[in-house]
Amino acid sequence: MGNTNGVLVVGAGPVGLTTASQLARLGVPVRVVDLLEQPTDESRAVVIHARSLEMLAALGVAPRLEARGRRIDGLEIADGRTGATRAGADLTGIPSRYPFMLDIAQPDTEAVLAERAAELGIVVERGVELTALTQDADGVEVTLRSAAGDETARFGWVVGADGGHSTTRHLVGTHLEGGFHGQHFAMADVEVETSLDPGTGRMFTHPDGLAMLFPLRGSRARTIFLVDDPGPDATAPTLEQIEALTQERMAGRVRVTGSHWLTYFEIHHAQVPQYRPGRVLLAGDAAHIHSPAGAQGMNTGIQDAANLAWKLALVARHAADPELLDSYQEERHPVGAAVVRTTTALTGVGTTSGALGALRSAAMFVVGHVPALGEAAAERLAELTVGYRDSSLAVQHGGHRRGAARAGEHAPDPEGLRRPDGTPVAVEELLAQPGFLLLARGGAEELREVLGELGTVVEIGRDVLDADDVVGTHYGLGAEGLALIRPDGYLGLVADTADASVLRSYLADVLRVGAPAAV
Residue 17 C-beta: closest distance to ligand FAD, Å? 8
Q: Given the complex with ligand FAD, which of 286 and 324 has the nearer CB atom? A: 286
Max Cα–Cα distance, the chain, nearest Å:
69
Residue 237 touches ligand FAD, criterion: CB under 6 A: no
Q: Given the complex with ligand FAD, which of 7 and 511 has the nearer CB atom? A: 7
Residue 215 touches ligand FAD, criterion: CB under 6 A: no
List for the chain the helix, strand, coil content (%; round to 5). 30, 30, 40
176-195: contacts with ligand FAD (CB under 6 A): 187
Residue 67 C-beta: closest distance to ligand FAD, Å? 20
Residue 231 C-beta: closest distance to ligand FAD, Å? 17
Residue 455 touches ligand FAD, criterion: CB under 6 A: no
Q: What is the dihedral of CA 297, 298, 300, 303, to 10 degrees?
A: 180
Q: Given the complex with ligand FAD, which of 205 and 223 has the nearer CB atom? A: 223
Residue 281 touches ligand FAD, criterion: CB under 6 A: no
- At residue 105, the 3 state secondary structure works out as coil
509 by Cβ neighbours in 10 Å (0-12 / 13-18 / 19+) ranks as exposed
- In this chain, which stretch among 156-164, 237-245, 325-333, 361-369 interacts with ligand FAD, using CB under 6 A? 156-164
- CB of 95 closer than 8 Å to CB of 411: no
C-alpha distances out from residue 42 to 110, 188, 201, 269, 400, Å:
11, 10, 20, 21, 47
- In this chain, which stretch among 89-97, 225-233, 282-290, 496-504 interacts with ligand FAD, using CB under 6 A? 282-290
Q: Given the complex with ligand FAD, which of 167 and 327 has the nearer CB atom? A: 167
- Taking phi over 0 as left and psi of -120 to 50 as alpha, with beta for the rest, 284 belongs to left
- In this chain, which stretch among 248-256, 280-288, 329-337, 507-515 interacts with ligand FAD, using CB under 6 A? 280-288
Q: Given the complex with ligand FAD, which of 36 and 153 has the nearer CB atom? A: 36
How many Cα atoms occupy the beta-carbon half-sphere of 418 within 13 Å?
A: 10
- At residue 406, the 3 state secondary structure works out as coil
The residue type of 269 is: H
- CB of 96 closer than 8 Å to CB of 384: yes
- CB of 295 closer than 8 Å to CB of 185: no
Q: Given the complex with ligand FAD, which of 96 and 167 has the nearer CB atom? A: 167
The residue type of 397 is: H
C-alpha to C-alpha distance for 265 and 449, rounded to whole angstroms: 54
Residue 75 touches ligand FAD, criterion: CB under 6 A: no
C-alpha to C-alpha distance for 263 and 251, rounded to whole angstroms: 23
Is the CA virtual torsion 325, 328, 331, 337 positive or negative?
negative
C-alpha to C-alpha distance for 283 and 333, rounded to whole angstroms: 10
Q: Which helix (H) or strand (E) holds 476?
A: none
Q: Given the complex with ligand FAD, which of 177 and 468 has the nearer CB atom? A: 177
Parallel, antiparallel, or unpaired: how do β-strands 30-34 and 124-126 relate? Answer: parallel
- At residue 79, the 3 state secondary structure works out as strand
Residue 104 touches ligand FAD, criterion: CB under 6 A: no
Residue 169 touches ligand FAD, criterion: CB under 6 A: no
246-275: contacts with ligand FAD (CB under 6 A): 263, 265
> Contacts with ligand FAD: how many residues (CB under 6 A)?
35
125-144: contacts with ligand FAD (CB under 6 A): 129-130
Residue 91 touches ligand FAD, criterion: CB under 6 A: no
Q: Enter the DSSP assignment of 199.
A: T
Residue 460 touches ligand FAD, criterion: CB under 6 A: no
**Contacting residue, 200, 299, 303, 361, with ligand FAD by CB under 6 A:** 299
- In this chain, which stretch among 13-21, 227-235, 480-488, 506-514 interacts with ligand FAD, using CB under 6 A? 13-21
**Contacting residue, 6, 22, 34, 249, with ligand FAD by CB under 6 A:** 34
Residue 302 C-beta: closest distance to ligand FAD, Å? 8
- In this chain, which stretch among 23-31, 54-62, 161-169, 319-327 interacts with ligand FAD, using CB under 6 A? 161-169
Q: What is the dihedral of CA 229, 235, 237, 239, to 10 degrees?
A: 180
Residue 105 touches ligand FAD, criterion: CB under 6 A: no
- In this chain, which stretch among 7-15, 82-90, 357-365, 510-518 interacts with ligand FAD, using CB under 6 A? 7-15
Residue 59 touches ligand FAD, criterion: CB under 6 A: no
C-alpha to C-alpha distance for 82 and 358, rounded to whole angstroms: 14
Q: What are phi and psi of 443, to 5 degrees?
A: 65, 20
**Contacting residue, 25, 44, 276, 512, with ligand FAD by CB under 6 A:** 44
C-alpha to C-alpha distance for 340 and 176, rounded to whole angstroms: 12
Residue 340 touches ligand FAD, criterion: CB under 6 A: no
**Contacting residue, 24, 28, 46, 192, with ligand FAD by CB under 6 A:** 46
C-alpha to C-alpha distance for 483 and 476, rounded to whole angstroms: 9
Residue 295 touches ligand FAD, criterion: CB under 6 A: yes
Residue 15 touches ligand FAD, criterion: CB under 6 A: yes
C-alpha to C-alpha distance for 226 and 205, rounded to whole angstroms: 10
Q: Which residues of the shown chain bind ligand FAD in the complex (CB under 6 A)?
A: 10-16, 33-36, 44-47, 106, 129-130, 161-163, 167, 187, 263, 265, 284-286, 292, 295-299, 301
